[in-house]
Amino acid sequence: MEGVEAGLIAELIVSDGGSSDDTQALADAWGARIVSGPASRGGQLRRGCAQARADWFLVLHADTVLQPGWTAAVGAHLGTRKAGYFQLQFDRGGRVVAAWANLRARFLGLPYGDQGLLIPRALYAHVKGYADIPLMEDVAMVRALRGQLAGLDAVAVTSSAKYRRQGWIRRGARNLWTLVRYFAGTDVATLARRYRR
C-alpha cells in the first residue's frame, strides 16, 4: 500500500453506519479500527476523526480510491497548515461532471466529500470538526475552511454508480438543487429525506 510504504498512513479507521455487507470483515482483515454508530454521513465522519491519533487526517468515502502517486502531493502539502482536496474523476464516464466539480472546487472553494479531505488536526479542531448531520456535511466543512483549503495535484477516483443508475444530468441537477436549497436555509434533515428517495 503506497501510503504505508511512504510512511504517511499510521492508522486506518473505518466508521461504519450499520452496513449489512462485508465492510466490517474487510476492514478487520486490513487491520483497521472499526467505529460503529448510527448511519449519518456527518456523524460517521465525526466519530472516525474523534478516534484518530495522528496530526493529520485523510478522510475518504468508502467508494473513493486515490490514484498512484498521491503520496508525493500529500507529502509536499504537509508543510502547510491548510486542508487539501484531490482532483475528482469517476470510475466510469462522467468527464463533464468531474470537470465541473473540479472547477467548482477551484474557483468557488466547494469541493465535495468525494474529493477527499486532508486536514491537520489543529485546523480540524479549530473549525469544530464535521457537523453531525445526515447530508451536506462536506459543504458545511469546506465553508468553515474557507481560505484554508488548497487543491492537491493528485486524483481521487470515485464510483459513478448513482449517476449511471439515475442519469448523469438528472443526478447532477438534483445535487445542484440540493446545494441551492441548503444555502437558502432548508433544514438538512428535510434535504436528506428527499435526496435519498
The whole-angstrom distance between residue 112's C-alpha and the CA centroid of its chain comes to 6
Provide φ and ψ at 59, rounded to 5°. -105, 120
| Full residue range of the structural domain in which residue 115 is found | 2-195
Grid cell locating 73:
502531493
Q: What is the per-residue pLDDT across 58-107, written as a single tens digit (0 to 9) for each?
A: 999 999 999 999 999 999 999 999 999 999 999 999 999 999 999 999 99
pLDDT at residue 197 tops 80: no
Query: What residue spans of the chain are helical by DSSP H?
Result: 2-5, 23-29, 41-51, 70-77, 95-108, 121-126, 137-144, 161-166, 168-183, 188-195
Assess whether pLDDT exceeds 90 at residue 148: yes
Please give the tally of structural domains in the chain: 1
Looking at residue 18, its pLDDT comes to 86
6, pLDDT greater than 90:
no
**Which three cell numbers mark 34?**
472499526
Q: How far apart are CA 164 and CA 182, in angstroms?
A: 24
3-state secondary structure of 20: coil
Residue 163 pLDDT exceeds 90: yes
Please, what is the average pLDDT of the chain?
Answer: 94
Q: State how far the Cα of 150 lies from the Cα of 74, in Å rounded to an integer.
A: 11
SS3 37: coil
Q: What is the CATH number of the domain that holds 172?
A: 3.90.550.10
| pLDDT (tens digit per residue) in 31-53 | 889 999 998 999 999 999 999 99
Given a contact cutoff of 8 angstroms between Cβ atoms, the answer to whether 157 and 90 are in contact is yes
pTM above 0.85, yes or no: yes
